[in-house]
A and B are shown apart, each in its own frame.
Chain A
Amino acid sequence: MIHVLYFAWLRERAGTSRESVETRAPTVSALVEELRARSEGHALAFSDLRAVRVAVDQKLASFEAPLDGAREVAFFPPMTGG
């Protein structure tokens, strides 16, 4: 089980800020493919991955990152702090 978090417009498109997912996806990319199938909103959120950043267990990661043992995966747009 992995906790999936969404922020900013990914949250708005996916229609949720947090969900628990039963998955055996080996990588972030594989997880994204599974999430896309959850709803039209999810598919829209992940329609252009160039605009999406990911963190695995609160550390920035790539879409190729393995999910072995990961507990939390977050998706969000490029950050705009400061």
Chain B
Amino acid sequence: MEVRVGPEAFDPGAELSAFVAGVAGAGAVVSFTGVVRGDGGLEAMEIEHYPGMTEAAIAGMVDQARHRFGLVAVRVLHRHGRLAAGEPIMMVLTAAPHRRAAFDAADFLMDYLKSRAPFWKKELGPGGSAWVAAKDEDEESLDRWAPDRA
């Protein structure tokens, strides 16, 4: 399955191995894993999402990435619910004939997932909880992929 959204934990190593095994001859595979940071005493993270829209939005990004970068295969995993510091949150895997396309596609997907997939993170620490604010730089990262910059 290309897009997997759910509360279940996953093993990044096993996911990467399975992905590589399924794309024989692709030439280049890139993976990115996002992990719950443990700095500032952060204990856990609650991730809320918009069921239905989440899957559709990610599927749209995956389609764009596949065509734009000529991907052989692509997979996006994203968890929701309560995650402890150190746990993997999400993973992007891309396979292409050559490395540049695989790197760029993973970068593109990360930028879109940050700002255009309906997830919201809440940080839980000793002092209470707080919603994570979106960063201006995340929107600026998205601008890099505008058609006139390509």
- Interfacial residues, chain A to chain B (CB-CB below 8 A): 5, 7-9, 11, 55, 58-60, 74, 76-82
| A80/B114 in contact, CB under 8 A | yes
User: Which A residues are CB-close (under 8 A) to B34?
Assistant: 82
0 or 1 for each of B44-55: is its CB under 8 Å from A? (1 = yes)? 000010101100
Would you call B99 an interface residue if the criterion is a C-beta within 8 Å of the partner chain's C-beta atoms?
A: no
Q: Closest approach, in angstroms, between the C-beta of A16 and any C-beta of chain B?
A: 14
| B120/A77 in contact, CB under 8 A | yes
Interface residues on B, range: 20 to 34
With contacts A78-B134, A81-B90 known, is A8 near B122, CB below 8 A?
Answer: yes
- Interfacial residues, chain B to chain A (CB-CB below 8 A): 34, 48, 50, 52-53, 56, 78, 89-90, 110, 113-122, 131-134
| B53/A81 in contact, CB under 8 A | no
User: Which A residues are CB-close (under 8 A) to B113?
Assistant: 81-82
* Known contacts A77-B120, A80-B131, A82-B114, then 15 further A-B pairs from the complex at CB < 8 Å, ordered by chain A residue: A7-B120, A9-B131, A55-B50, A55-B53, A58-B50, A76-B120, A79-B115, A79-B117, A79-B118, A79-B134, A80-B132, A81-B113, A82-B34, A82-B89, A82-B119
